[in-house]
């Protein structure tokens, strides 16, 4: 059974804290993605990685960075969390003949 796991389902952090969101996949795929989901806005791509140590900005990278030291792990970093980063964060990798994305369960982050 394939798995994409995210380190936390719910997270509460204070403004200014450094926040790490971790994602681990067991599908041995090169591609991994981080999205944020906000009501009325759908999913927006923050960063993605197509190989170890390779990363590319998505549509809304400001305020975020990423790390991919190993193929199975892709971390999203909020260097100094702000209240406008309160959101649902979803990690994904590629699975299947159609190269559809397979998502983790999500992390609901609240920044107070």
Partner 1 sequence: AQKITQTQPGMFVQEKEAVTLDCTYDTSDQSYGLFWYKQPSSGEMIFLIYQGSYDEQNATEGRYSLNFQKARKSANLVISASQLGDSAMYFCAMRGGNSGGSNYKLTFGKGTLLTVNP
Write out the residues near partner 1 by the rule CB under 8 A. 31, 33, 35, 40-45, 48, 50, 56, 58, 88, 90, 92, 94, 96, 98-103, 105-106, 108
| CB 31, CB 50: distance < 8 Å | yes
For partner 1, which is the closer residue by CB, 52 or 80? 52
CB of 26 to partner 1, least distance (A): 17
The Cα–Cα gap between 18 and 82 comes to 10
CB of 46 to partner 1, least distance (A): 11
| CA max distance for the chain | 42
What's phi and psi for 85, nearest 5 deg?
A: -100, 5
Taking residue 27's Cβ as centre, other Cβ atoms within 10 Å add up to 16
For partner 1, which is the closer residue by CB, 43 or 77? 43
β partners of residue 100: 95
CB of 98 to partner 1, least distance (A): 4
For partner 1, which is the closer residue by CB, 81 or 91? 91
């Amino acid at each position: 059974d394939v798995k994409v796991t995210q380190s936390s389902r719910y997270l509460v952090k204070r403004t200014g804290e450094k926040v790490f969101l971790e994602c681990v996949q067991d599908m041995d795929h090169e591609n991994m993605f981080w999205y944020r989901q906000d009501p009325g806005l759908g999913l927006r791509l923050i960063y993605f990685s197509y190989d170890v140590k390779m990363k590319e900005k998505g549509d809304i990278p400001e305020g975020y960075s990423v790390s991919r030291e190993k193929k199975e792990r892709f971390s999203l970093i909020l260097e100094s969390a702000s209240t406008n980063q309160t959101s649902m964060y979803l990690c994904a990798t590629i699975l299947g003949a159609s190269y559809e994305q397979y998502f983790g369960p999500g992390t609901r982050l609240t920044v107070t």
